[in-house]
């Protein structure tokens, strides 16, 4: 085999490798939750805030119902329910959480801090919230 042929095979293999890796990334089902003080319908996939996130994820290969699972949570304007809903989200190990409004953000922050108690100091909150998307209400 000539040197040029060997280099061509290696170059082809190098170009093909990233394509194989990209295909493996989307094989996992990505779990996304949404939390608001309003009802769960406020954070439905048809709402303007969530539909933008779903659209961007779809552009990156995550299709709702295929490799993307979405679960909205809402407190039906009963702020006292947010703590329990946030605890349920934190315990369910979602990959990311969309939060609408300050009360929901505080509730999810406290829930993740409680789940991740082994972390120390302020970094605990940053580690717990690394997959949090906040949407102003």
Digit-coded pLDDT (tens) for 77-130: 999 999 999 999 988 888 888 888 889 989 988 888 876 654 444 333 434 444
Q: What's the N-to-C CA distance of the chain in angstroms?
A: 65
Flag whether 116 is in a domain.
yes
CB 90 within 8 A of CB 131: no
CATH of the domain at 129: 3.40.50.2300
Provide the pLDDT confidence category of residue 26 given band limits of 50, 70 and 90: very low
pLDDT of amino acid 109: 87
CA distance 5 to 94: 48
**104, 58, 98: which is closest to 85 by C-alpha?**
104
Flag whether 127 is in a domain.
yes
Digit-coded pLDDT (tens) for 43-78: 888 888 888 888 988 998 989 999 999 999 999 999
| Structural domain boundaries, residue 34 | 27-135
Flag whether 61 is in a domain.
yes
Flag whether 117 is in a domain.
yes
Q: Looking at the 3D structure of the chain, how many domains does it have?
A: 1
Length of the chain: 137
């Amino acid at each position: 085999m000539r040197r040029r042929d060997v280099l061509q095979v290696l170059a082809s293999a190098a170009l093909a490798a990233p394509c194989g890796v990209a295909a493996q990334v989307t094989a996992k089902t990505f779990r996304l939750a949404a939390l608001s003080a309003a009802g769960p319908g406020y954070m439905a996939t048809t709402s303007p805030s969530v539909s933008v996130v779903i659209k961007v994820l779809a552009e990156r290969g995550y299709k709702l119902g295929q490799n993307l699972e979405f679960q909205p949570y809402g407190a039906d304007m009963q702020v006292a329910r947010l703590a329990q809903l946030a605890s349920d989200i934190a315990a369910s190990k979602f990959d990311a959480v969309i939060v609408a409004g300050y009360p929901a953000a505080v509730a999810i922050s406290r829930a993740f801090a409680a789940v991740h108690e082994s972390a120390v100091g302020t970094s605990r909150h940053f580690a717990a919230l690394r997959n949090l998307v906040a949407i102003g209400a």
